Structures are given as structure tokens and as C-alpha cells.
Chains A and B, each alone.
Chain A
Amino acid sequence: MDKSQNIRIRVDEVNFFYGPRQILNRISLDIFNQCVTAIIGPSGCGKSTLIRLFNRMNELVPHSRLEGKIILDGEDINSSLRNVVDIRKLVGMVFQKPNPFPKSIYENVAYGLEVNGVKDKLFIEEKVTDSLKKAALWDEVKDRLEESALRLSGGQQQRLCIARCLAVEPEVILFDEPCASLDPISTKKIEELCWELKKDYTIVIVTHNLQQAARIADYTAFLYLGELIEFGETDKLFTVPQNKKTEEYLTGKFG
């Protein structure tokens, strides 16, 4: 298979700074279409910062500066020709802590459609149902769509956030440690969901949990102190790491 045909996001020599502090140092890597790519590494290594570049969320951080290119569908996402709203519709995000709005379950999922100008009530309704089904939440909430989303459990809230993200029809989904605040059963559900979703979506997941990366990712990138130490197919990276640092991290010598 010719991989270069299949690249969805190309990170090209990226440096990123918060004020004078350099967070990412000359990162280059490719995210492949319809695969799960995991980004692992110890806390503070820049994992979250890296994926937040893919939907331009870091723009919200004052005094931040980016060098290098992030190419999505052949063009730099930071180019003046591209609209940040279009990029965020194309590249959805699920956050570390479930963050449903203080609105009803239905309104949460419909929100993305409404802000994007969809008026057709019937279409919205179908999309909400469809997204909740895809996020494996439908059976648990179908009789209480008007209830506040804050009354769901943590795991349900996170699946609601996934449904909310799916409703906008993104092609890439970024997961920023989606299971960090969840119990093992909810975690398992989210992992199965990732596995299911990669048929239709390109997934990038930041995780602290090495087993999680090993279980669900096709490719894994290991970041350490803002540098990409190793990137490759998950099986290879976990069984025969090329770099000594990777091996040390995987065997728990630091982290």
C-alpha cells in the first residue's frame, strides 16, 4: 500500500512556543487516513499541545507562536485562505474532561448543527439520533433526551461529547486523553467506540495509558520533552522500539 496517498494530516517541522518557552521542537509526522494514531509520552511532553494544533485550538492561548506547517488536505491549516470554522468542522475534538453544555441531551448534540446554520428540524432530529447511536449512547438516553446532560454519568457524558462531535460530520476526530477521568468500564466503551469509528474517521488520540495505545492504535508516536522520539506502527514500536528512550519509557524506567 502506498502510504503517501493516504496521509490525512502532515506535520512539517513544527515548533511551538508559549511566550519564551518552547513546547514543541521540530516535530514532523504523518497522520494516516482512517487509522487510529496514538500520541504517548510523559506529562508535559507536549502531546495535548500537538493535537490542539490540528484544529487551531491553541490560537486561544495568548502569547503563543507557531512555526512550521500543518497540512490538511494539501494545504496549510494556518494559511490565510482557510477559515478556522471550516477547519474545526472538519476536525472535531473530544476533551480530557467531559464537557457537555448545561443544556438538554438533545440540545447538546444539536448545538453543532445549529451554529453551523442548519435550520431543518427534521434533519437535526435524524442527525441527533444517528450521532447518539454511533456514540453507543442511544439506548441509554432515548427516553430522556430532554433531560439535562449534566445528570448523565461521567462515561455517558463523554460519549455524549463524542456524539456532539460526530453530529457536525467531521472527518478527523481528536481525542485528548478522553478516558483520563473515567472508570475502567467507561474506558472500555470509549476504546471500543474508537475502534468502531476508525472505519469512517481518522482518529488521533492522546493517551497516558500505554496499554490503551497498544490496544487501539495503528500508529503510535512517542513524544518526550517536546521532541518526537519515535513514530511508527504500534506493533513495531511496542515490540522492537528503535530508540533507547522509547524502550525505557515503555518498560517504565521513567514517565
Chain B
Amino acid sequence: MNLHAKETWYRRLFAVTAFSTLIFLAGIIVTLFHGAWPLFREVNVIDFLAGRAWYPTHTPPEWGILPLIAGTMTVTAGAMLISVPLGVGSALYLYEIAGKEKHFIKPLIEILAGIPSVVYGFFGMAVAAPFIRNFLDLPVGLCAFTASLILGIMAVPFICSLTEDALRMVPKSFREASLALGASRWQTLVKVIVPAAGSGISTAVILGMSRIIGETMTVLMISGGAAVIPKSIFSPVRPMTSTIAAEMGEAAMGSLHYHALFGIGLVLFLMTLLLNITAEFISRRFRLKLGLTQ
């Protein structure tokens, strides 16, 4: 085969791989809408989103997913409170302070990212939940708080490495300029580098949030599973993801319950899509601000 023909083939091959993503995405979107459609013929969207009771197997059944949305929100908010300070803090440490330590701390953080979520679930059930129950004297250890804690730790490596990337994208020349004006390293970090990386860091946080929202196995194991609007962070909750995972096996195929689970999937998808679009929008502004693109 001559060189030119080879090149044409490579181009085609990679084009196919790239466009396959598009096909999968389209397939998923179509499936979600198609699966959820029968539900919305019987249940009004507002009742679905704002209904306060989720009783899919009662007669008559109730299809309100507000408790599930509240569960997801509670766990996500709690997890963010843990993962953002820890993730951004470790990134700042790795970027500015760490010397030789960096060579073992960074791989360790990355190992944290590689642990399967079911293992986090085990840890949560076997260690964190009993400890938290005893320590805080709660009726149950499997609750939103425990789930937040574990999910928060899971998101740390993700937020940390994206934040570190954002910091490293800030041109070295800003740092030099600041130091040459007599600023200390700390002032340079706080007044120049972090503001310049600001939208990159926001992107990291938003993508971390979208991950936490989508996490399933861990929350299924440790959030407690109660489909009620939580009274506090220490109540058991049932986030949207674990609802789908737990009930999909039981719901008869083609039943309204089955379609309602697709409906939840669709809502989840739209939520994370919105977050990802926001993140993309912010990160574009970030590159523009640093003069990395025109």
C-alpha cells in the first residue's frame, strides 16, 4: 500500500472511532427518552418531579421523585463540603509546596482514584457506618452523612488532579512577574495564580459534582435506602442512582415502574449534562482569559 492510501485509511479509522462516541451518546439519549415516554403519558411531569411520595409498588402507586432528588442533593452537598477543600487544598500543596514528597503523594492520590466504588462501599458499610453511629450516637449509621463522607473522599483525587492541571496551565511568566515585583510566594499564589486559574478550578469542582451525582454503587450500599425527604444530614436517604440500581431488577419489564426508572435516569442525565455544559462553558472562558486561545 502506498503512503497516501495508508494515510487515507488512518484518517478514516480514527474518524470512525471519534464518531462512534456520537453514536453511543445518541443511542443513550434515544433509549432514555423512549423508555421514559410511556410514564409521561400517564403521569404529569410536575407531579413526577415535585411529588413527595415514591411508592412504586403500592396500589395505587405514587411516582413522586422529590425524595430521591432530595437524597441526591443532600449527599452531593455533603460530599462537596468534604471533597472541595480537600481536593483543592491538596492540589495547592502539590503545586506550590511539595518538593520531593510530591513523588509519592501524587501516586497515592491517584491510587485513591483507582479503587473500585464497591470497595468504597464495603469500607463505608463495615468501618465508617458503625463508627459514625457509635461516635455520634445515631440510630443508624447508614445515612446521608456517611454517604457524603465516603463520596467526598472518592471525589478528592478527581478534583485534585483537575485543579492541579488548572494551576499548571497558568503561564509561568505570571509567577515570575509577581515575584519580581516583590510579592511573596504566598501572595503570588493567592493574588495571581489562583485567580488566574479560578475558572479552571470551578470547572474541576463542577465536574467533581457531576461525578458525585452519578455515583451509584457506594450510595446504594451506604446511604440507607429510605425514599423519604431527609430531615437532616443524619437521615437515611435514597438517591436517584441507587433507586434505579436497586429497583431495576424487580420492576417488571414494560410496567409503569420500569418506565418510571427510565424517567429518573433521564432526569439524572439532564442534570449531569447541564453541569458538564456549564463546566465546558467556564473552561472556555478560562482559556480565553489566560490568552491561551483567541
Partner-B contacts on A (CB < 8 A): 55, 57, 60, 85-86, 88-89, 92-93, 95, 97, 99-103, 111-112, 114-116, 150, 161, 164-165, 168
User: Which secondary structure dominates where chain B touches chain A?
Assistant: helix
Minimum distance in angstroms from A5 CB to a CB of chain B: 28
Q: Which of B9-17, B44-52, B71-79, B175-183 contacts A (4 or more CB under 8 A)?
A: B175-183
The number of residue pairs between A and B whose CB atoms lie closer than 8 Å in the complex comes to 68
Task: Give 6 nearest A-B pairs by CB, closest first.
Answer: A99-B173, A112-B181, A115-B183, A89-B182, A93-B180, A88-B182
- Considering the complex, give the chain A residue whose CB is closest to the CB of B286: A102
Taking a contact as CB atoms under 8 Å apart, the answer to whether B179 and A88 are in contact is yes
Nearest to B193 among chain A residues (CB) is: A101
Question: Which of A85, A95, A116 sits near B176, CB closer than 8 Å?
Answer: A95
Q: What are the residues of chain B within 8 A of A95 when measuring CB–CB?
A: 173, 176-177, 180
CA distance A103 to B196 in the complex (A): 9
Chain B residues proximal to chain A, CB less than 8 Å:
171, 173-174, 176-184, 187, 191-192, 195-196, 289-291
B177 touches A102 (CB 8 A): no
CA distance A112 to B184 in the complex (A): 11
Question: Nearest chain-A residue to B175 (Cβ)?
Answer: A60
**Does A60 contact B179, Cβ atoms closer than 8 Å?**
yes
B290: A residues at CB distance < 8 A: 102
The 10 listed contacts between A and B (C-beta, < 8 Å) are A60-B176, A86-B182, A95-B176, A97-B173, A99-B174, A101-B192, A102-B289, A103-B195, A115-B181, A116-B182
- Among A93, A99, A100, A115, the residue within 8 A (CB) of B187 is A115
B179 contact set on A, CB distance < 8 A: 57, 60, 88
Structural contact, B176 and A57, CB atoms closer than 8 A:
yes
Whether B181 and A92, one on each chain, are in contact in the complex, defined by CB atoms closer than 8 angstroms, is yes
B161 to chain A, nearest CB (A): 22
A101 with B177: CB separation less than 8 A = yes
Q: Tell me, in angstroms, the Cα distance from A161 to B177 when the chains sit together.
A: 9
When C-beta atoms are compared, the residue in chain A nearest to B192 turns out to be: A101
Instruction: Assess the A88–B181 pair: CB atoms within 8 A.
Output: yes
Question: Residue A115 contacts which of B182, B196, B289, B291 (CB distance < 8 angstroms)?
Answer: B182
Chain B residues with CB under 8 A of A101:
174, 177-178, 192, 196
The distance from the CB of B216 to the nearest CB of chain A, in whole angstroms, is 39
- Contact assessment for B181 and A168 in the assembled complex, using a CB-CB cutoff below 8 Å: yes
Given the known inter-chain contacts A102-B290, A102-B291, A115-B187, please indicate yes or no for A92 contacting B180, CB distance below 8 A: yes
- Chain B residue with minimal CB distance to A165? B181
Collect the chain A residues with CB atoms within 8 Å of residue B178's CB.
Answer: 101, 111, 115
In the assembled complex, the Cα of A84 lies from the Cα of B145 at a distance in Å of: 48
Interface centre among A100, A101, A103, A165 (most CB of B within 10 A): A101
Q: In the bound complex, what is the Cα–Cα distance between A57 and B182 (angstroms)?
A: 11
Chain A residues near B177 (CB-CB < 8 A): 95, 99-101, 161, 164
Interface centre among A60, A85, A102, A150 (most CB of B within 10 A): A102
Residues in chain A near residue B182, CB distance under 8 A = 85-86, 88-89, 112, 115-116, 168
Query: Smallest distance from the beta carbon of B103 to chain A beta carbons, Å?
Result: 13
Query: Residues of B contacting A97 with CB < 8 Å?
Result: 173
What chain A residues lie within 8 Å of B176 (beta carbons)? 57, 60, 95, 99
Instruction: Kindly provide the distance from the CB of A206 to the nearest chain B CB, expressed in whole angstroms.
Output: 14
Q: How many angstroms from the CA of A97 to the CA of B289 in the assembled complex?
A: 17
List residues of chain B with CB within 8 A of the CB of A88. 179-182
CA distance A88 to B184 in the complex (A): 10
Q: Could you tell me if B181 and A111 are in contact, using CB atoms closer than 8 angstroms? A: yes
Do A57 and B289 contact each other (CB < 8 Å), given the known contacts A101-B174, A101-B196?
no
How many whole Å from B36's CB to the nearest CB in chain A? 44
Question: Residues of B contacting A60 with CB < 8 Å?
Answer: 176, 179
CA distance A75 to B22 in the complex (A): 67
Beyond contacts A89-B181, A111-B181: 8 other A-B pairs, Cβ-Cβ < 8 A, are A55-B180, A85-B182, A101-B174, A102-B196, A112-B183, A115-B191, A150-B291, A164-B181
B111 to chain A, nearest CB (A): 26
CA distance A92 to B184 in the complex (A): 15
Task: Name the B residues within 8 Å of A116 (CB-CB).
Answer: 182
Bound Cα distance from A65 to B208, whole angstroms: 42
B196 to A57, Cβ gap below 8 A?
A: no
Inter-subunit contact B191/A111 (CB<8 Å): yes
Bound Cα distance A101, B176 (Å): 11
Write out the residue numbers on chain B whose beta carbons fall within 8 Å of the beta carbon of A112: 181-183
Complex CA–CA separation, A115 to B191 (angstroms) = 9
